[in-house]
Amino acid sequence: MKMHTGYPVRLAGLSAALLVAVSCEEFQPVFTGKYEDPDPLQTVTMTPTYTIAELAAEYTPGQPFVVGQDKLVGEDVIIAGRVSTTDQPGNFYKSFYIQDETGGMEIKMGKNGLYNDYKPGQMVYVNCKDLSVGMYGYRSGSYGGNGMVQIGYADPTGEYETSYLESQLLIDTHIFRGEYEPGNEVEPVEIEASDLPDASATLEDCPYLGRLVTLKGLEYANETFTLVYIDSNKNRKESSNRVFLSDETWGITTWAMSETKYLEYLNSGKWDSCKVGNANDYNYGTVADHKEQLIKNAAPYSVSQYFTLGGKEIQIRTSGYCKFADTEIDPDVLAGKKTINVTGILTLYQGSIQFVLLDIDGVEVNG
């Protein structure tokens, strides 16, 4: 198997008092004129001191560092790149990627609706001093590998190597918007199977990591991966709380699943025989044994649909919260009769190739 007494009376009295107060007031006039246009965005131009790959090369797997404190002390560390993603369709969450000619890097912003401020194609500068450089998805051991280097804030919980820049002050201190020209989006580069990264790849080995790329001729591998929780409010690392839908398709024919689609799949019975637990710890029954609780705690779930290109396996991972989560994959693709071309961000997770679509327009069926 491979590897979100008395209270009602007082309330009624309060409601009545509010009703009287509202009834005795006239509605205020509604402004029907035109507000002044907002001031135009004041863009900046900065001189990068590091390429994205050069900054990423300072990172050692499993050892996140704070710029200016742990490493690169006394230096001006500024990277720059053009925005290559958008969170508008919902497949990116509280982050966006920038890229230069050496590779791409994720910036963890901690805000929704980033597409309003950081538009595809816009130049962004990052003053990295006091920010944390870490990796998401790193796993040591022979069955693991590298993830993606990203930049954000130090995680106070220690659970992740980086956290979000949630404070507007932090954002304004470190992230600067540069020039933007509508229609000047990042153009994807078409790459071949030979260009894909191996499990230990870095930007030095594969400059396409974190960048917007196009892969052509992907064949369906008849396999999905979805991690479902019996109760997502409980410990998500407990074996008794985990269901791995993997090694086959389990009847999942969509890119991901909303809560509605999840319930449809669950109630179909196709998952009933799936065992609960981690590998080598299937001691908690099957999905059928926990179905009532699984229904009660229904939620959207991400799905990895597996494809191959030139003998290499690629997981196209899609969020259950995105707008195209429930879009059906072409039946002829699932049957192996047709291939697809995809455009999105090339990433690594625990040494496995993961591909993230910006939107459903990034999928083209051949033939």
Beta strands in 142-211 (DSSP E): 148-152, 175-177, 189-190
Q: How far apart, in whole angstroms, are the C-alpha atoms of residue 240 and residue 268?
A: 23
Same domain, 133 and 276: no
In a domain, 201, yes or no: no
In a domain, 61, yes or no: yes
In a domain, 308, yes or no: yes
CA angle 234, 264, 322 (to 5 degrees): 70
Q: SS3 for 31?
A: coil
Q: How far apart, in whole angstroms, are the C-alpha atoms of residue 74 and residue 64?
A: 18
Show the tokens assigned to 316: 């196209």
Query: How many other C-beta atoms are found inside a 10 Å radius of the C-beta of residue 200?
Result: 12
CA distances for 114 relative to 10, 87, 95, 256, 355, angstroms: 43, 6, 8, 22, 21
Query: How many other C-beta atoms are found inside a 10 Å radius of the C-beta of residue 179?
Result: 12
Show the tokens assigned to 340: 């697809």
Beta strands in 28-131 (DSSP E): 65-66, 78-83, 95-100, 103-108, 123-127
Domain of 106, CATH number, reads 2.40.50
Show the tokens assigned to 302: 């991400």
In a domain, 128, yes or no: yes
pLDDT, one tens digit per residue, over 173-203 is 999 999 999 999 999 999 999 999 999 999 9
Same domain, 137 and 270: no
In a domain, 304, yes or no: yes
Domain that holds residue 61: 52-186
Beta strands in the chain (DSSP E): 65-66, 78-83, 95-100, 103-108, 123-127, 132-136, 148-152, 175-177, 189-190, 212-229, 242-245, 303-309, 312-318, 340-349, 352-357, 363-365
Q: Give how many domains the chain has, as a whole number.
A: 2
Same domain, 151 and 237: no
Same domain, 115 and 227: no
What backbone phi and psi angles, to 5 degrees, belong to 191? -125, 165
pLDDT, one tens digit per residue, over 226-274 is 999 999 999 999 999 999 999 999 999 999 999 999 999 999 999 999 9
Closest CA to 159 of 56, 235, 239: 235
Same domain, 71 and 176: yes
In a domain, 24, yes or no: no
Same domain, 293 and 356: yes
Same domain, 76 and 168: yes
What's this model's pTM, rounded to 2 decimal places? Answer: 0.88
Looking at residue 42, what is its pLDDT? 77
In a domain, 155, yes or no: yes
Q: Are the C-beta atoms of residues 365 and 330 closer than 8 Å to each other?
A: yes
Q: How far apart, in whole angstroms, are the C-alpha atoms of residue 250 and residue 244?
A: 10
What does the pLDDT profile of the chain (367 residues) look like in tens digits? 444 334 344 334 434 443 333 444 444 444 445 545 545 567 899 999 999 999 999 999 999 999 999 999 999 999 999 999 999 999 999 999 999 999 999 999 999 999 999 999 999 999 999 999 999 999 999 889 999 999 999 999 989 999 999 999 999 999 999 999 999 999 999 999 999 999 999 999 999 999 999 999 999 999 999 999 999 999 999 999 999 999 999 999 999 999 999 999 999 999 999 999 999 999 999 999 999 999 999 999 999 999 999 999 999 999 999 999 999 999 999 999 999 999 999 999 999 999 999 999 999 999 8
